[in-house]
Amino acid sequence: MKLNHRIPSLVRPLIAAAALALGLSAAQAQDIRFGFNADQSGTGAAELGVAARHGFDLAIEDINKAGGLLGRKVVGIVRDDTGQPPKSIQNMTELIDSEKVAAVVGPTNSGNALAWLHIPQQKKVPVIVPVATATDITKRYANEAQNYIYRVSMVDREQVALLIAYAIKATRNQKIAFIADSTGFGQQGVKDLTEVLALHGAKAVAVEKFGPKDTDMTSQLAKIRDAGADTLIVYGLADANAQLLRSMEKINYLPTTLGTWGNMSTPLLNTAGKKLAEHIIFATSTAEDSNPRAVALAARVRERYPQLPTFVAAAQSYDSVMLLAAAVKKAGSTDGDKLAATLENGLPDTQGVVKLYQKPFAKGDHEALSVADFHLARWRDGKVAAYEDAITKALAPADYKK
């Protein structure tokens, strides 16, 4: 028994000697750790976090099947922040200080990101955000010598640019209206919508709002209908938007309806029903049927997560890990400064699920995706599918104003 207890201490020098014989340092013989910190259970955005976690896990599996990084195995360290900023802050501290991760992927909620950005920035640990959309996330430290915060996700202002570009071409009577929830999220959305529509030389014919827990929006919709709007942009979360769709049905007013990517969450489908849910068209970066890589990843994720309503989060998380892996390979190191510099300046072309990433980041731009990468989607037969029509095919870069 005593001999068994001594085995680890006897083996350690042999492992170190073997590593040196292979030209590896002791540090290089250890696993490379990537952290994941996102809501997977606590809020309405949790299913985005669950999907992102599966994308994260599958990317690491693929990296290890290909031999790992720098001759070392990659290990994912996963934390659920339950959508709560204090818990998310605690997770980040543990991942960086105790787990010694080389980089972090996450979070789901923008508020959580904004609560802990200072931690990886101070400790020089790169973070790639695969879900949260608040514009300020990558901007807070943009003027620092090195900004360690990157993103592979939708961005609020960029989504608005796409929605307005489509609305301008979709409206037949040039009457576009907005309706948003009364939260800061919804009202910031109205501000962005108003500003971007003005760039097109237009103004909303009606702007209404509703409480995020409201179930009857018929009075607001009646005002929009009476204003003559044939195109409506909705800025709210999926559960409230489902009630909005039901209110539209009640008064038989179903204009062209557009929204943000949050509409791909299952509350929209479950509350509005499959047929009505198909009425709203929303922004996304990819869908399960967007390309062969998306089809393949979706099939793998569905083995673990059969419902998979938010495939886009899995795809963006998968791509985030692949970009980190490309940076580690190119830098030949897991040092935070070297990884950050490589992400900005030295990444080789990297094939992802969403797209082929060619110099995705630059010194003043840490957004891997822009409006040119976004698409429209809608629910179809209980799944999120890419949406195309004559308008989407006619949209050009000049149509996107922001």
Structure confidence by residue, pLDDT tens digits, 43-56: 877 889 999 999 99
Mean pLDDT to the nearest integer, 299-320: 89
Do residues 246 and 345 both lie within one domain? Answer: no
Do residues 192 and 274 both lie within one domain? Answer: yes
Do residues 191 and 141 both lie within one domain? Answer: no
**Which tokens in the block code for residue 373?**
């990468």
Mean pLDDT to the nearest integer, 95-118: 95
Do residues 258 and 301 both lie within one domain? Answer: no
pLDDT of residue 319: 98
**Which tokens in the block code for residue 11?**
């083996």
Tell whether 9 is covered by a domain: no
CB-neighbour burial class of residue 145 (10 A; exposed 0-12, middle 13-18, buried 19+):
exposed
The proportion of the chain whose per-residue pLDDT surpasses 70, expressed as a percent, equals 92
Domain that holds residue 57: 17-154+290-369
What CA–CA distances, in Å, run from 329 to 105, 315, 322, 351? 18, 21, 11, 15
**CA-to-CA distance for 255 and 170, rounded, in angstroms?**
10
**Which tokens in the block code for residue 217?**
């929006």
**Which tokens in the block code for residue 247?**
């209110």
- Which segments within 203-275 are labelled E, that is strand? 206-210, 231-235, 256-259
Tell whether 164 is covered by a domain: yes
Coil, strand or helix: which one is 257? strand
Helix (H) or strand (E) holding 129: strand 127-129
Tell whether 8 is covered by a domain: no
Tell whether 12 is covered by a domain: no
Q: Which residues contact 71 (CB under 8 A, 6 or more apart)?
A: 22, 24, 28
Do residues 178 and 318 both lie within one domain? Answer: no
Tell whether 253 is covered by a domain: yes
Tell whether 2 is covered by a domain: no
Do residues 21 and 144 both lie within one domain? Answer: yes
Q: For residue range 129-181, list pLDDT tens digits in order.
A: 999 988 889 999 999 999 999 999 988 899 999 999 999 999 999 999 999 99
Tell whether 11 is covered by a domain: no
Do residues 356 and 391 both lie within one domain? Answer: no
* Residue 394: pLDDT band with limits 50, 70, 90: very high
* Residue 95: pLDDT band with limits 50, 70, 90: very high
Do residues 25 and 150 both lie within one domain? Answer: yes
Best CA proximity match to 336, nearest among 53, 147, 95: 147
pLDDT of residue 29: 52
Dmax of the chain from CA atoms? 86
CB-neighbour burial class of residue 66 (10 A; exposed 0-12, middle 13-18, buried 19+):
exposed
* Residue 382: pLDDT band with limits 50, 70, 90: confident
| C-beta of residue 364 within 8 angstroms of C-beta of residue 134 | no
Q: What is the CATH number of the domain that holds 345?
A: 3.40.50.2300
Calculate helix-pair angle for 46-65, 292-304, nearest 10 degrees: 110
Best CA proximity match to 368, nearest among 401, 308, 327, 334: 327
Q: How many folded domains does the chain comprise?
A: 2
What CA–CA distances, in Å, run from 214 to 154, 181, 234, 268? 27, 9, 14, 14
Do residues 217 and 127 both lie within one domain? Answer: no
Q: Chain-centre distance of CA 345, in angstroms?
A: 23
| C-beta of residue 257 within 8 angstroms of C-beta of residue 221 | no
Do residues 136 and 208 both lie within one domain? Answer: no
Instruction: Identify whether 267 is preceded by a cis peptide bond (ω within 30 of 0).
Output: no
Tell whether 4 is covered by a domain: no
Q: Which residues contact 65 (CB under 8 A, 6 or more apart)?
A: none
> pLDDT at residue 16 above 70?
no
**CA-to-CA distance for 19 and 378, rounded, in angstroms?**
52
Q: What is the mean pLDDT of the chain?
A: 91
Q: Are strands 375-380 and 383-387 parallel, antiparallel or unpaired?
A: antiparallel
Q: If you compute the radius of gyration of the chain from its CA atoms, what whole number of angstroms results?
A: 23
* Residue 4: pLDDT band with limits 50, 70, 90: very low
Do residues 220 and 111 both lie within one domain? Answer: no
Q: Is the pTM of this model over 0.85?
A: no
Do residues 382 and 257 both lie within one domain? Answer: yes
| C-beta of residue 44 within 8 angstroms of C-beta of residue 75 | no
